[in-house]
Structure 1
Amino acid sequence: MQYRLFCSILCSGLVFGAMPVLSHEFWIEPEKYQEVSGAPVVARLHNGQAFNGAEQPYLDHRIARFEVMQGGAAAPYMGRMGDMPAFTAEMPRDGLAVLIHQTQPQTLTYDTWEDFQAFIDHKAFGDIRTRHQDRRLPDAGFSEQYTRYAKSLVAIGDGRGSDAATGLETEIIALANPYTDSLAEGLPVRVLYQGKPRPQAQVEVFAKAPDGSVAVTTRLTDAKGETVVVVTPGHSYLLDAVVLRPAPDGKDYVWESLWAALTFAVPAQ
């Protein structure tokens, strides 16, 4: 057991250390997005690309917040070091459960500008290089701090309820319930940053089919920070939206990225 725990911690550190250079996402993936009343909900933490990636253990020193929200009330979740899956808990009542996970900030150093530019281009941040040069920053050897804000929607029993703002610095809110509402016109979502709608934000949409294949598209939020995601019954989804901002003065890193993720499934018809 001690050896397995050591390997989990070591491997997790290696995976986390490389992910932002490759624009890796971080998300919560339940074993079942719809669970019967009284059964425990089991969910895994993942990071990777295209809705496929390495499973991460429960590591309390990497967690800033881990909660379950039902009916507007949030309860903290406490796991055991090295747990994989990272989340296993019984839900107190039927309805929509929102799993919430915020990581502790971590930093990485870019050895070349090309690595950072690939991240900028992938997330459609625009002309960051001019802003970088205006701050008289080097083109290589500079650091970025990144923090992950992940949510997942799980239906317990009847699955009734709604997603809502949870107080994360950035987050994606589902404006309809994917398990109980009609999604014929798609799933409307809102992107928030510091509690306010984030206009003109890129939302990357990863749609996983029952056979495991993944299609990737992007949407842009409107002036209200909203967009509509076209969905297909029987698919699961990962939505991703990233904020990039200059670091405060006096830090040993020069940029900060804040990664919002939302996972859910659309029931098969």
Structure 2
Amino acid sequence: MMIALLKTSLTGLLFAVAATLSTAYAHEFWLEPSKSRASVDEEIPITIAVGQNFVGDTIPYIPDSAVRFDVYGPGGKTEDASAGFAADPGGIVRPAGRPGLYIVAYQNKGNRITIDAPTFNTYLETEGLDHILDHRRANGLMDQPGQEFYTRFPKTWVLAGDNIDAGRWAAAPSNLTFEMVPVSNPFVLRSGDLLTLQVLYAGKPMPGILVSTFVKGHPERVQAVRSGPDGRATVSIDRKGRWLFAAVHAIAAEDRATVDWESFWTSLTLDVPAR
């Protein structure tokens, strides 16, 4: 009886998580540390979140839905970020006395989805996926639903102790299929500064990507800037607080049955103190 109840509960949990991911498709997906600057002796929970404009729901960590959930610690050491099955917050960073930068990177297994035509067209416009909109217009598909397979690649940082080498590690790619990397030390940023991010797809600079920015506690998207020929996008850090940078890239889904497009979503969170 106990085993049967456990299986039923597990099935219900997995279904609920899948439903949350599907309904939140056209929203941001991010990792959020309880604090981004910590001492070397404390453990820092990492929340997996989905929503819009930095407001949404947390998601428990389910191993079957993830490809990776890693922490890259000082010297490039890789550890498991998961806090345990169905944990919420889903991850944890354990400096264990080691000062330095801890990069947390996540990738889900991806999901197929069908979106009604008006919602799909609005999503394409909002996320700057003009090439798909142009294709739909040119082929008389604007009234057809969107068939898509999407994968998420969020990451965040925790800086343990006062480590002068953190900026160098922050500017290094995390080997995610789609990601954003700062070109200079983000930990010296203050309100009023500029931040340049390089958008990478398969390790190469990606031009023409719309980078959207959000600040926690503010109800609307703050900025939307396209990456240039070198994949770089510069945003104005015009206020203090917790920032979320998000971007989407999509290609024709030639290798996947039953879908037309394959999309890749990335995000990065960063805390900016007052000047």
TM-score category (smaller protein): 0.7 to 0.9
- Give the alignment of 1:11-50 within 5 angstroms: 11-20=16-25, 23-50=26-53
Contact conserved, 1:203 with 1:221, CA < 8 A, in 2? yes
* Structure 2 CA distance for aligned equivalents of residues 250 and 137 of structure 1: 20
Contact conserved, 1:169 with 1:195, CA < 8 A, in 2? yes
- Deviation of the 1:182 alpha carbon: 6.1
2:100 aligns to what? 95
State the percentage of identical aligned residues. Answer: 26
Structure 1 unmatched ranges of 5 or more: none
2:208 aligns to what? 200
Q: CA RMSD in A?
A: 2.5
1:174 aligns to what? 182
- Deviation of the 1:101 alpha carbon: 0.5
- Deviation of the 1:18 alpha carbon: 1.4
| CA distance 1:89–1:130, shift in 2 (3 Å) | closer
1:147 aligns to what? 151
Q: Residue deviations 1:8-52, cap 9 Å, x none? A: 4343222101122xx211000111111111111111000000011
* Structure 1 CA distance for aligned equivalents of residues 227 and 59 of structure 2: 30
1:65 aligns to what? 68
Letter in 2 for 1:42: P
Matched, 1:105 2:107: no
Matched, 1:254 2:264: no
Contact conserved, 1:179 with 1:267, CA < 8 A, in 2? no
Matched, 1:53 2:61: no
The number of residues matched between the two structures is 263
2:84 to 80, 88, 91: 80
Q: Residue deviations 1:205-238, cap 9 Å, x none? A: 0012xxx234412112122111222224531111
The residue matched to 2:87 in structure 1 has which SS? coil
* Structure 2 CA distance for aligned equivalents of residues 45 and 108 of structure 1: 21
- Deviation of the 1:201 alpha carbon: 1.3
* Structure 1 CA distance for aligned equivalents of residues 47 and 13 of structure 2: 14
1:263 aligns to what? 269
Letter in 1 for 2:218: S
* Structure 2 CA distance for aligned equivalents of residues 177 and 234 of structure 1: 17
- Deviation of the 1:129 alpha carbon: 4.0
* Structure 1 CA distance for aligned equivalents of residues 183 and 198 of structure 2: 7
The residue matched to 1:81 in structure 2 has which SS? coil
Letter in 1 for 2:41: G
Contact conserved, 2:241 with 2:273, CA < 8 A, in 1? yes
| CA distance 1:4–1:205, shift in 2 (3 Å) | farther
1:115 aligns to what? 119
2:230 aligns to what? 224
The residue matched to 1:11 in structure 2 has which SS? helix
Q: 146-155 or 9-18: which moved more?
A: 9-18
Contact conserved, 2:53 with 2:218, CA < 8 A, in 1? no
The residue matched to 1:67 in structure 2 has which SS? strand
Contact conserved, 1:27 with 1:261, CA < 8 A, in 2? yes
* Structure 2 CA distance for aligned equivalents of residues 226 and 247 of structure 1: 26
- Deviation of the 1:185 alpha carbon: 3.2
The residue matched to 2:264 in structure 1 has which SS? strand
| CA distance 1:252–1:199, shift in 2 (3 Å) | same
* Structure 2 CA distance for aligned equivalents of residues 135 and 71 of structure 1: 51
Letter in 2 for 1:104: K
Q: Residue deviations 1:62-86, cap 9 Å, x none? A: 1111111134514141442110110
The residue matched to 1:179 in structure 2 has which SS? helix
1:9 to 9, 14, 18: 14
* Structure 2 CA distance for aligned equivalents of residues 233 and 139 of structure 1: 41
| CA distance 1:71–1:90, shift in 2 (3 Å) | closer
Contact conserved, 1:9 with 1:57, CA < 8 A, in 2? no
Letter in 2 for 1:124: G
The residue matched to 2:24 in structure 1 has which SS? helix
